[in-house]
Amino acid sequence: MAQRLPEWLTIRLPRPDTINEVQQMMRSKNLHTVCESARCPNMPECWSKKTATFMILGNTCTRSCGFCAIKVGKGEELDALEPINVAHATKELGLKHVVVTSVARDDLKDQGAGQFAKTIEALHKELPHVIVEILTPDFKGDEECIRTVCAAKPEIYNHNIETVERLHTIVRPQAKYDRTMRVLEMVKEIDPAIYTKSGIMLGLGETKDEVLKTLEDLREIGVDAITIGQYLRPTMKHLPVVEYIHPDAFAEYEKIGEEMGFIFVASGPFIRSSYNAIAFSEKVMAERLAKIQPQKPMNELRVLN
């Protein structure tokens, strides 16, 4: 029997007019969003604010994670216009911070790394001041793929750990805890100027000690930002929710994360990898500007327009 949702997990009501506007624009450019494909509970709120997370490399994933609602199957043919279409859509939405993720494409020789690089380059060319955050699969830990993506100079490289080490074989059967850690570590080795970010879901049966150990492991390899959110079962075919974590526990994890030294910690029931991503981008820009203008107080710094 499914657990009843606690009161703090009430879904926000959408604004259909703005949501339809964003949806129509995405379809006109043959673009996908992870918001739709992964059935994100924040879609109504984000789309009503004209923000979305672009999902490149098609709408079909070659992996089958137990928590994810994205369609699984044979990878689709790559769209050569996808990178420039993402850039044009970003401009039309007026975004200062854009998040680009993808399905896993284990069927491709470069696993989609080249398409990520082209998309980052198109965004920077079209919008020189935009902060580009990418959320990539693990590329099976292939250093060449990671170097290809890093060479395009994304401001933020996000790769999610998703869950604690003990639960990886259940939650992410085609991924590995150590490999995810190594991907994030390699990004810093390749280009220390790129900010790294990761995310973890709670409510899958992990213990507090396991969560803290995961956060410690991420900090040890220099990860800059972390998101912590509640796992919500997208369909009855997916992994069940073991526990609904109280907001007070999320607040405690946020405090602990900050004390560990993460530049940015977002922790709460509705937090997802790219939810309110611009909040981290403000810290990124503030830190960069502080290096240029060290005499200027941090509270006077603002994101570039």
HEC string of the chain equals CCCCCCHHHCCCCCCHHHHHHHHHHHHHCCCEEHHHHCCCCCHHHHHHCCCCEEEECCCCECCCCCCCCCCECCCCCCCCCHHHHHHHHHHHHCCCEEEEEECCCCCCCCCCHHHHHHHHHHHHHHCCCCEEEEECCCHHHCHHHHHHHHHCCCCEEECCCECCHHHHHHHCCCCCHHHHHHHHHHHHHHCCCCEEEEEEEECCCCCHHHHHHHHHHHHHCCCCEEEEEECCCCCCCCCCCCCCCCHHHHHHHHHHHHHHCCCEEEECCCCCCCCCCHHHHHHHHHHHHHHHCCCCCHHHCCCCC
Look at residue 299 in the predicted model and tell me its pLDDT: 40
Share of the chain above pLDDT 90, in %: 50
Look at residue 298 in the predicted model and tell me its pLDDT: 38
Asked if the structure places residue 4 within a domain, the reply is no
Asked if the structure places residue 5 within a domain, the reply is no
Task: List residues bridging with 289 in a β-sheet.
Answer: none
> Phi/psi of residue 54, each to 5°?
-70, 140
Asked if the structure places residue 185 within a domain, the reply is yes
The owner of tokens 């909040």 is 279
Asked if the structure places residue 277 within a domain, the reply is yes
Asked if the structure places residue 176 within a domain, the reply is yes
Look at residue 290 in the predicted model and tell me its pLDDT: 63
Cα radius of gyration rounded to whole Å, the chain: 18
For the residues 36-46, what does the mean pLDDT come to? 53
For the residues 189-204, what does the mean pLDDT come to? 95
Question: What is the residue-averaged pLDDT of the chain?
Answer: 82
Share of the chain above pLDDT 70, in %: 74
Indicate the pLDDT class of residue 267, thresholds 50, 70 and 90: very high
The parent domain of residue 72 ranges over 14-300
Residue 161 belongs to domain with CATH number: 3.20.20.70
Indicate the pLDDT class of residue 295, thresholds 50, 70 and 90: very low
Look at residue 36 in the predicted model and tell me its pLDDT: 53
Indicate the pLDDT class of residue 192, thresholds 50, 70 and 90: very high
Look at residue 44 in the predicted model and tell me its pLDDT: 55
> What is d(CA 135, CA 119) in angstroms, rounded to the nearest whole number?
12
For the residues 121-144, what does the mean pLDDT come to? 94
Question: Strands 225-230, 195-202: parallel, antiparallel or unpaired by DSSP?
Answer: parallel
Whether 144 shows a pLDDT value over 70: the answer reads yes
Query: Which of 13-27, 35-49, 257-271 has the largest mean confidence?
Result: 257-271
> What is d(CA 198, CA 180) in angstroms, rounded to the nearest whole number?
9
Alpha carbon 54 to chain centroid, angstroms: 10
* Tokens linked to 172: 């992410």
Look at residue 146 in the predicted model and tell me its pLDDT: 98
Asked if the structure places residue 2 within a domain, the reply is no
pTM of the model: 0.83
Count of domains observed in the chain: 1
CA 1 to each of CA 20, 217, 236, 240: distance values in angstroms, whole numbers, following the listed order: 35, 35, 11, 10
**Model pLDDT for residues 79-118, shown as the tens digit of each residue:** 999 999 999 988 888 888 888 999 889 999 999 999 999 9
For residues 193 and 261, the answer to whether their CB atoms sit within 8 Å is no
Indicate the pLDDT class of residue 304, thresholds 50, 70 and 90: very low
